[in-house]
């Protein structure tokens, strides 16, 4: 991939901007490593697990009506694993210490994900044998806009049921 050095530069700049990052990895949504800066961590394993977690997260967002997946955050005892959408075919996974400022992590992760997405999508357009129409299709929204309806007030009756009666 011709964009790999540029992606690696973006990962290194990101780690410089957020010192609490312990690793950064760009991968395809299929789990193939595009570029990584993950000392002490096996990048192929992280990329494969990212693809698996991404599949579950995409399904969860879809089933609950939340729209296209934007990011996934996992917090462990020792820190965070954050995954951000990066264009149409890639994701950015960041590993961070527990003391990271999560707002800053999201801000910088989203920006880097957008930049990496631009690089990957541009490379897909340049790939031999593909056309721009095939490689990058415009995002379209189908259906009507969702609206929220107000909730009914809670009842304080003692015989309120939580299951549906048939």
Q: Residue 150 has what pLDDT?
A: 58
When pLDDT is cut at 50, 70 and 90, the band that residue 129 belongs to is low
Q: How confident is the model over 86-121, as pLDDT tens digits?
A: 998 999 999 999 999 999 999 999 999 999 999 998
The per-residue DSSP string of 133-144 comes to HHH-PPP---SP
Q: Residue 41 has what pLDDT?
A: 94
Burial (CB < 10 A; 0-12, 13-18, 19+), residue 152, is: exposed
User: Which residue has better confidence, 79 or 122?
Assistant: 79
Average pLDDT rounded to a whole number, residues 71-80: 96
pTM for this entry: 0.74
When pLDDT is cut at 50, 70 and 90, the band that residue 152 belongs to is low
Which residue is listed with tokens 């031999």? Answer: 128
Distance linking the first and last C-alpha atoms of the chain: 59
Q: How confident is the model over 56-73, as pLDDT tens digits?
A: 999 999 999 999 889 999
Query: Which of 111-125, 130-144, 146-160 shows the lowest mean pLDDT across its residues?
Result: 130-144
Q: Are the C-beta atoms of 47 and 27 separated by less than 8 Å?
A: yes
Residues 6+ apart with CB under 8 A from 139: 68
Burial (CB < 10 A; 0-12, 13-18, 19+), residue 113, is: buried
């Amino acid at each position: 991939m011709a964009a790999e050095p540029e992606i690696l530069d973006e990962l290194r700049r990101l780690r410089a901007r957020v010192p609490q990052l312990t690793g950064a990895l760009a991968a395809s949504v299929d789990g193939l490593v595009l570029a990584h800066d993950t000392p002490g961590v096996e990048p192929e394993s992280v990329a494969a697990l990212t693809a698996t977690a991404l599949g579950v997260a995409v399904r969860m967002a879809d089933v609950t009506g939340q729209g296209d997946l934007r990011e996934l955050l996992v917090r462990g005892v020792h820190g965070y694993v954050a995954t951000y959408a990066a264009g149409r075919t890639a994701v950015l996974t960041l590993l961070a210490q527990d003391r990271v400022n999560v707002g800053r992590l999201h801000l910088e992760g989203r920006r880097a994900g957008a930049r990496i997405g631009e690089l990957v999508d541009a490379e897909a357009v340049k790939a031999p044998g593909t056309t721009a129409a095939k490689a990058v299709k415009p995002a379209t929204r189908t259906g009507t806009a969702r609206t929220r309806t107000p909730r009914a007030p809670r009842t304080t009756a003692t015989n309120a049921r939580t299951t549906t009666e048939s």
